[in-house]
Amino acid sequence: MSVYEYSARSIKGEPVSLSAYKGKALVIVNTASKCGFTPQYEGLESSYKKYHDQGLEILGFPSDQFGGQEPGSEAEVEEFCKINYGVTFPLFEKTLVRGPEATPLFRYLSEQAPFKGFDTATLGGAKMQSFLQEKLPEYYEGNGIKWNFTKFVVDREGNVVGRFESTVDPASMESAIEALL
């Protein structure tokens, strides 16, 4: 099995089979417009521009599951991303990414790249771990998505080869991306 077995709806509501991305390296990320990690859109767009011609696609999946941080409509999300961060990579409809209602794609991603913890040597990682363990312990347990801007790296054959948690800046993923191009 691979990510190519899954489909989603574009932010405009059109069906998209992920098989359309065969042969491309992918970063699949759940996003939100009103999150402390929202500025990562800038880094994601930078990576997209830098590596797109070499075969990288970044696929953004807005989600409102974490503190209601994606409250707008798809049109509002798309406009926000374009105006504030110049996003040109593909965006999809708002998506459930964790729990029993999670879409099959995000259940698959979480199974293929289990949660290995936050880098508590960084301030962001230590704070995120503490927050989740204290306030949302059920989110911290298991392999599900922990928060907005969890990033999955997928090779050109559709295999999930890496997971980068919310606290990891997109620029820190460049070596993993370059290895696939």
The reply to whether 35 belongs to the active site is yes
Q: Which residue has the tokens 């099959």?
A: 104
- The answer to whether the CB of 18 falls within 8 A of the CB of 4 is yes
Q: Which of 29, 35, 113, 160 is catalytic?
A: 35
Distance between CA 162 and CA 173 in Å, rounded?
9
The residues annotated as belonging to the active site are 35
